[in-house]
Structure 1
Amino acid sequence: MVKKSSLLLLSIILIIGAFLPHSKSVAATESITISTDFVNVRGGPGLSYPLVKTVNRGETYPIVTEQDDWIEIELANGQTGWLVNWLVTKETGSNNTGVTANSAIKTNYGIVNADTLNMRQEPSAFSPVVGKLTYGTSVTMYSKQDNWLEIGFSNLRGWVNSEFIDGQATGSSTSDTAQKSGMIGTVTADSLSVRSSASLNSNTIGTVTMGESFTIVEEMNNWAKIEYESGSFGWVAGWFLEKVASRSQTGQAVKKNIITIINNGTNIRKGPDVQSDVIERTNTGATYTVKSIINDWYEIKLEDGRIGYIAGWLVSINGTKPQIKKTGAEGYLYNKTIVLDPGHGGTDKGATGVSGIYEKDLTLRTAQLLSDKLMAAGANVYITRKDDSYLQLASRVNMARSYNADAFISLHYDSNVDSSIHGMTGYYYHSYQQTLAESIFASTVGHTKMTSRGVRFGDFHVIRENSQKAVLMELGYLSNPAEEMMIKSAGFQENAASGLFDGLARYFKENP
């Protein structure tokens, strides 16, 4: 006979067990490879546990078990430790029971042929989504398992359905690649530099001009590779190209056009103008198929069959329809004077990321991307520093005053001793700066999909002492390992610059 006290104790143990973190047993042949410069290994599955050691990029360790976002690995001398799973690449041995071995594939390059494609953590439709890819994105292919492909893009690595990737054979000729990309780009800037690689820091090897069209050979992190002269190839900034899909050799129809909402509370109206009744409201991230374009409005079909209209400057679009907001934005930004202030510089490094990257370098990178976009729209752009030099705060403010700036934007990245804190924050000091801060912040959060920490009062010199409309943007936390990894990527930098650009355009549209 079991005593009541024993039954009570057993019940308590069962209840506690139901709320313990979920752990997953792992086959002995599973291992991980470190995919960033260095990763801290801790004594348990959490940031509060003591540091055991640091492991470096490319090192491989066997997996012992997994718990939520943490992986326990086997170190030397029988010791184990824990690290976060988003900083490593998981590999599965071919002798796992019940697991189909990854087969080597003859191609190492592919292009996304779907409007939006989910990249998943594991080769399963039920696995968590680790990223999203859009039509025409260039990816690297590593292995194949059944109808799933393991691919890499920027800092991400994951699995996608092979149906939505057009493969390219290793060593295929450039002309073959060009045919398979299926995209034609027309230059929209007066003069556009052709560079030796997909980076603003690479050498300029040529120039193309407005109206010229080129077959896009390859795309990488919002850059496009083109044949700018017969037999000569180079890279141009993709945001200065108007892209259309050429008809494939098989005669397939052009992919459908999908718009994505970039602001919460966006109105869907009964007709294509701001005077029409609002029939529904939608939020950031919602997607709709475009039926047609009327003036600056996209006609869409709602789930209940009704037809609605969304203003083109409130969305981003994938496909072959024109990006309405770009044309509109150029009009609102034309001849406006914008002063960009990349925070810190020189001996003032600003915040230091967990991987060692400096805030001063990232702010300059963001400012350069934004400057290119603004100048292409006809704005008069001035940057407080164009290189790694130190500039006093008063001099930055004086530049805004001397140029009679219509807007002054100070760019920063944040840091905190609590590495779990993340997200984006916008600041203003004077009431006449608040509307500008709110417009820029809302657009940038929408483009980057960052956690919103809101727009608030901030007692910072560059906005406090500024008589112009000025804002300070903290674009994310370098002290958060996951956020720092994202911030460093070319994709985030492009999205941040686009968000800042569109926020300025919307502000001047509403406040001419």
Structure 2
Amino acid sequence: MVHKVHIFLIALLLFSTIFSFLDPSTVQANRTVVVATDVLNVRETPDANGIIISKVQRGESYPVVDSQGEWLKIQVTSSKSGWVASFLVTESSDGARSTASRSSEGANVQVLTDDLRVRSGPGTNFSVVGFLHANATSVQYLEENENWVKVHFDGVEGWVAKEFVTILAKKKEEQQTETEESIEETEGQTATITTDGLNIRSEPSTQSEVLGTLSSGQQVEVLAIRGEWLNISFNGTVGWIHSDYANISQPSSDSGTQGSGSPKTEATIKVAGLNVRSEPTLNGKVLEQLPQGTTVSIISERNNWCEIQYDNGKTGWIAGWFLEKSGVSSPAPSQSSDGTIIIVDDATNIRSAPSTDSNVILRADEGEEFSIVAVEDNWYKIKLHDGSEGFVAGWIVATKGNATSIKRAGAEQYLTNKVIVIDPGHGGRDVGAIGAQGTFEKDLTLRTSLLLQDKLKAAGATVYMTRMSDTSVPLQSRPQMANYHGADAFLSIHYDSIDDSSVTGTTTYYYGSSDQDLADSVHSSLVQFTNLRDREVRQENYLVLRESMQPSLLLELGYISNRGEEITVLTGDFQERASTAIYQGLAQYFRGN
């Protein structure tokens, strides 16, 4: 009997010991969250008034050790943990598609067609900022969504249609060479930063810890070079930065001569990160990049390219249309102007005077070029092929040469600095509606939301997403994010389903009467762009609308229970049109409010 009691006591002790480890902290530690806002306060207690004990940055991941209501306790360091609002973080998931996963370090883009339009944003509603040709080299890949690719070339950043380019990843041999390259020590060298928000990292890798950030124009001391990484010192911080975003200056003792005795014109770089090339062509080797505001000396010019001298005797070629020559101001009305305009669309009107009321004297075709004679009231006066002159609106054509581009603000003027919270409905275990052929609503809502996010950000809006990947987000947290950020608009994106498979169309819901104008603007745009059946604007008592203190809408963008409509909304073309419609509807609303 005594023996049995001993066995029972030992078993009880083991049982209690095992379960003592299964407390909420241990269970929660299997969860990881990613910070979804720029700077997030970590508090001592799960309360908005709790003492701030630390701050964490967007994109950083932390294990969850406890939860309480809408608050999560994260392990910030080995000795420090604190509470953050759950709606300002997203769950980490193996299959998650994050912002970081949408970019590719060091990749280039191969252009597959001539005269590929580069636009200021990811959509045909954005203005043309340049052109790329099939033989273009050194076109740098920045990021992408499902329909558009953001690129950088010769100081210009913009978006191109994905179907006309191929993304080329770095060759494995190049990546291996980089890791094997030895560190080259430098002496007396400095570097000038050419971009804002450049991360200083603890190791020469984009995966290493961020020690701080640098801004465009700041100068740092270069301690060593390893492949494409610079070991730098700045205000007591020693770390690594990527050389693509810094221009190295040689020690003063290396100053060269002024070169030839030919007269030189001073000029200033007008764009950020302008490539200096070995020859006057886009095929020339990139020697380095010069930041906006750099003063250079022009030695010679050839076909709109300028041979320049910079950094105590270095020489190279840059595209002349990105230079502002000293003593030369932007064209004033009726002032003559160098350069050429390029027609962007077929049947572009050339008029007899700088006004849309004047007579059309010619309809020009896409790709045609005309010399600029003068600029009048945002119109280019151009020389036609027969020697006569005409006028074309400056905001509908592209330019090359030294002419200043004329832009008439479009929808983006009403979206700049607006705060928009986008809520891709459902996510994680909550798949939402299931289509006739098995489509999950949660996947469609994320696709539309990511496209919309890119368009709004390109217009200058501040955009927050309730989720960036296939993660679960509490329903109450979604409108709370809009309240927290004081959003100018909160949009919950959904796709509909019903037992009756014949039902189709798009519906827009709002809660308060003050939101009806927003609903009317966005819904009208959706019907126009998507060509779906108009199921009208309706008032409804949905939680995500009721709990939001900001202007809010819930959008149902088609019925996936209808097989035909499910096939339609799955296409990239529909996703592009739907996201454009919401973008334009928001602009229309803010224009009148």
TM-score band (shorter)?
0.3 to 0.5
Which structure has the larger Rg over C-alpha atoms?
2
